[in-house]
Amino acid sequence: MFKYYSLKKYSKKLLPTLEKRYGKAQYYSASQVRATIYQHDFNPKYLPLAYVLFLEKKALKNVIYIEFPALNINQYKQEICQYLADKQDDSCLQSLHTLVVNG
């Protein structure tokens, strides 16, 4: 389901891109995240991952319910964590794992 390169790109490049476009913030809006994904060559297949990382919890639930109604967000997070646990040798993916777990 997940690809190493895409997750690595999300973990290293998405936050700096969001900050450059919208300024530093604790959370971003779904439209800001979505626009950045589509306009800056990120794989849109992992848009739910971007939402998990950068949306406030309440906004995340609303957006997932509307945009991905068939997606079980808790199961999705668990799959991400399992994939990242299998790739523990990469420090940037470890930081992504921390973000997903705490998000």
| C-alpha angle 72-44-80 in degrees, rounded to nearest 5 | 45
Q: What is the DSSP letter of 73?
A: H
| Token output for 14 | 């998405």
Backbone angles phi, psi at 70, to 5 degrees: -85, -5
Q: What does the pLDDT read at residue 1?
A: 58
Map tokens 């979505």 to a residue: 34
Burial of 29 (0-12, 13-18, 19+ CB in 10 A): middle
* pLDDT band at residue 68 under the 50/70/90 scheme: very high
Q: What does the pLDDT read at residue 6?
A: 74
Kindly tell me if the per-residue pLDDT of 8 is higher than 90: no
Mean pLDDT of 52-76: 92
Mean pLDDT of 14-40: 95
